[in-house]
Amino acid sequence: MKDIRAAIFDLDGTIIDSMYVWEKIDVDFLTERGIPVTKEYTEAVRGMFFETAAAYTRKIYGLQESVEQIVRIWLEMARHEYAHHVRLKPYTREYLDYLKQKGIKLGMATSSNPYLLEPVLRNNGLDGYFDEICYTSQVGKNKSFPDIYIYTAKKLGVSERNCVVFEDIPEGIHGAKKAAMYAVAVYDAASKDSESYLRSAADKYIFDFSDMMEEGLCRGIE
């Protein structure tokens, strides 16, 4: 991996330890309505846009709330956790600092929502760290497609071939590779069942950012 000029990071499960929030919301939201949470449901909504996931949940469980009401409930439940409890994954800040010192542009490509992203960055002192923050809602396609990564690279003013992408889910690695970018899979407990695929599909697999912090903090990039 040479001539990297920009690093594009996913948010949830990659730089912040937040996947428990969505499991908690699934459990709390459905349990309050007397509905058991299944693995099939959790896997089905993973990576969906909020509105898509809400419409799916409403349809399969026959809920009375509108899609807009479900989204609002979820956002309020999540925002509290993001604003007060969600923390960075190990060595994230150190690695971001190093990349900034090297003059490597920092981008974020996320399926999250600005309503959640802004407080979690403030909560962890990362306000202003990223040169560009881009959302899948801006391109209208999920992360299994390359669009969000190509869009983020364009916003950063960097060619796709000069970007490295950090993702924790198969869809993200798949999309990054389709964008012709160097893809690094980051371990997260929520996607541990996909480790075999992530190891084979990504250009590099790391347990956390300490794996990128040997040999001058940037092993494999310089």
pLDDT above 50: residue 1: yes
User: What pLDDT is recorded for position 112?
Assistant: 87
pTM for this predicted structure = 0.85
Distance separating alpha carbons of residues 179 and 173, to the nearest angstrom: 10
Q: Which residues contact 10 (CB under 8 A, 6 or more apart)?
A: 108, 109, 110, 143, 165, 166, 167, 168, 169, 172, 186
Could you tell me the residue ranges of all domains in the chain? 6-18+87-212, 19-84
One DSSP character per residue, 24-48 reads HHHHHHHHHTT----HHHHHHHTT-
pLDDT above 90: residue 122: yes
Radius of gyration (C-alpha) of the chain in whole angstroms: 17
Q: In what order do the strands lie in the sheet with 182-186?
A: 132-135, 105-110, 6-9, 163-167, 182-186, 204-206
Distance separating alpha carbons of residues 140 and 122, to the nearest angstrom: 27
Q: Average pLDDT of 13-34?
A: 92
Burial grade of 128 (CB within 10 A; 0-12, 13-18, 19 or more): exposed
Output the CA–CA distances (angstroms, integers) from residue 128 to 118, 122, 166, 204, in the order listed: 10, 9, 19, 28
Kindly report the backbone phi and psi dihedral angles of residue 134, in degrees, each rounded to the nearest multiple of 5, phi listed first. Answer: -125, 150
The model's pLDDT over 208-217, given as tens digits with 9 standing for 90+, comes to 998 887 644 4
The model's confidence at residue 44, banded by pLDDT at 50, 70 and 90, is confident
Report DSSP state, residue 145: S
Q: Give me the percent of the chain exceeding a pLDDT of 90.
A: 77
Structural class in CATH, domain 6-18+87-212: alpha beta
